[in-house]
Chain A
Amino acid sequence: MTNDDIWILGIAMTKFGKYPDLDIVDIAAEATTAALNDGGVTMAQVGVIAAGNLMNANAGIGQQLQKQIGQTGIPVYNVANACATGATALRTVIMAVKAGEADYGLAVGVEKLAGAGLLSGGARKSDGDTWTPRGRFGAVAPVDGRIGTDIMPGVFAQIGMEYGHRYGGTSFELFARISEKNHAHSTLNPFAAYQKAMSLEQIMGDLMIAYPNTRPMCSANCDGAAAAVVVSGSTLKTLSLEQQRRAVKVSASILTTDPWEEACQVLPDINTLTRNAAQQAYEQAGIGPEDLDLVELHDCFATAELVHYDNLMLCETGGAVDFFESGAPFRDGRLPVNVSGGLQSKGHPIAATGIANVWEIAHHLRGEAGPRQIEGAKVGLAHVIGLGSACGVHILEASAA
């Protein structure tokens, strides 16, 4: 290892699910304590914290966490970047460690979402007594449902349908089969919120939310947290051989936003910024998509998983349907995607997701994933996207030590 390399020394996630008796500080503390123990370090050594909790982004979760497990006066960056919040926290401490401002960086993301319904497009206010133009579009009445839709299942449904329009080959059944794959994968993951296989008939026959996304094709709202401890190569060299052996190298850490595109003014473009992030990540890591052993990508909806096969360049441009039909993204396929069960079954406690998917990859690279282990995994990629938009891509490699 070189002194400038970045390594994940310790990483942990809570089981995703329902924690009615715990608050976000308790859940964050559980993941953080486990990550510190995993890395063999204490809060006294940590030099910087980046913490994310999207639903209470102004509450200072980082400082609340310090009060719960250790106040040492170090800088805290509370971050919020939609569904990329966890990846943003990780990237923030990576930048601090890379800059030499801290030896040990701690990133944590936590969310309580169990029981939450639609996370956008709030209840429509009644029309006023007098039509009065308000807001950026001079609207005289609420527009959600009158001029398109604000709900995420509908936005991402259109993104998948647009891919089908451009390249062909998609259908309601195809999108449902992607979901079937991830629900099947989840049965091997004890950390997943839902660990039930679902048949194609069950998935297609479930409650329709926004065609073609039915309820099990949508990410599962749940509670959970994930945390990671990051060090440089120069620090790792001073640690035990066991710590060096279990450390996971961060070969690329990238965050992008969307450059201007004509259509992104009316429908979020999740493609361009993901492709840009992937390109930068492969270049930084000095590898290509053919070198990956597994991928955790942001399947917030079944329709999104399909387009990201293409955006992350796991297939040729326009070839996402063929990639899926080839069996490649199944856990026994050429390039397993979302062996954790993905957001559709593992769950999506928003700010935790971008670190939990790194944990999943790290777990396999360490050879510690038990029954769902992808044998011999050496390189993996973790991807998240938050609308607005922000995209995080991390490429991880197993330690050679």
Chain B
Amino acid sequence: MAVPLVDYLVLGDDPHLAAHECTGCGARFFDRRNACASCGANSFESVQIASTGTVRTFTVVAFAAPGVPVLFVAAVVDCDGTSVRANIVNCPPDPEHVHTGMKVRLTTFSIGQDGEGTDAMSFGYEPIDGPSPNDESTNGSGS
């Protein structure tokens, strides 16, 4: 048994993120809205978010709230025009290995089991080409 960490993570054979897309203007939201913040229309449909993307920005968090393990890489990933907030995983958490413009793909993993043996599955993005030392400036104009 497994449950997603958040309801916009869809598990199964093809794990992906899903968003509520405004039928009027195409704006996407990961949480519920009564009306579209962009155009005011009030109907939405569920859409699948692309599972690969480009790191648009990131930070390496070294000092976090109590109980939050560090270091970790927090980022915004541009998935075919939809911005996704996520961690970069399966990669050393430093600016030598993570850079803007880096191509990444969605991956899921268990954060643990509850008392009934159910896994909670989280998601992150991992480098498509594997972690490799950055050969460009760490935060230059990217690709």
Q: A residues engaging B (CB < 8 A)?
A: 118, 121-131, 133, 136-151, 153-154, 157-159, 161-162, 164-172, 207-213, 260, 262-263, 265-267
A-B contact count (CB 8 A): 190
Cross-chain contact B65 with A136 (CB below 8 angstroms): no
Considering the chains assembled together, what is the distance between the CA atoms of A143 and B4 in angstroms?
Answer: 12
Cross-chain contact B62 with A137 (CB below 8 angstroms): no
Cross-chain contact B114 with A146 (CB below 8 angstroms): no
Cross-chain contact B139 with A164 (CB below 8 angstroms): yes
Cross-chain contact B63 with A165 (CB below 8 angstroms): no
Considering the chains assembled together, what is the distance between the CA atoms of A95 and B52 in angstroms?
Answer: 49
Considering the chains assembled together, what is the distance between the CA atoms of A136 and B6 in angstroms?
Answer: 9
- What distance in Å separates the Cβ of B6 from its nearest Cβ neighbour in chain A? 4
When distances are taken between beta carbons in the complex, the residues of chain B under 8 Å from A167 are: 141
When distances are taken between beta carbons in the complex, the residues of chain A under 8 Å from B65 are: 118, 121-124, 144-145, 150-151
Cross-chain contact A165 with B86 (CB below 8 angstroms): no
Q: List 29 A-B residue pairs with CB atoms under 8 Å apart, sorted by A's residue number.
A: A121-B65, A123-B66, A136-B31, A136-B32, A137-B8, A139-B7, A140-B5, A141-B120, A143-B6, A144-B65, A145-B61, A147-B123, A148-B75, A148-B76, A150-B65, A153-B63, A162-B100, A165-B101, A165-B141, A168-B140, A171-B137, A171-B139, A172-B95, A172-B138, A209-B63, A211-B95, A260-B37, A265-B83, A266-B83
Cross-chain contact B5 with A260 (CB below 8 angstroms): no
4 additional A-B pairs beyond A121-B68, A146-B122, A260-B37, beta carbons within 8 Å, are A139-B6, A151-B64, A157-B59, A164-B140
Cross-chain contact A265 with B30 (CB below 8 angstroms): yes
B57 is an interface residue with CB less than 8 A from chain A: yes
7 smallest beta-carbon distances between A and B, as pairs: A138-B7, A124-B67, A168-B141, A145-B68, A157-B59, A162-B57, A165-B100
Which interface residue of A121, A139, A165, A210 has the most chain B CB atoms within 10 A? A165
Decide if the interface of chain A is mainly helix, strand, loop or mixed: loop
Given A123-B67, A143-B6, A154-B74, A128-B139 contact (CB < 8 Å): no
Cross-chain contact B76 with A162 (CB below 8 angstroms): yes
B56 is an interface residue with CB less than 8 A from chain A: yes
- What distance in Å separates the Cβ of B55 from its nearest Cβ neighbour in chain A? 8
Cross-chain contact A262 with B81 (CB below 8 angstroms): yes
Residue interface mask B70-106, A partner, CB < 8 A = 1: 1010111000011111110000001100001100000
B116 is an interface residue with CB less than 8 A from chain A: yes
Cross-chain contact A211 with B60 (CB below 8 angstroms): yes
Scan residues 39-66 of chain B and give those whose CB is less than 8 A from a CB of chain A. 56-66
Cross-chain contact B63 with A266 (CB below 8 angstroms): no
B112 is an interface residue with CB less than 8 A from chain A: yes
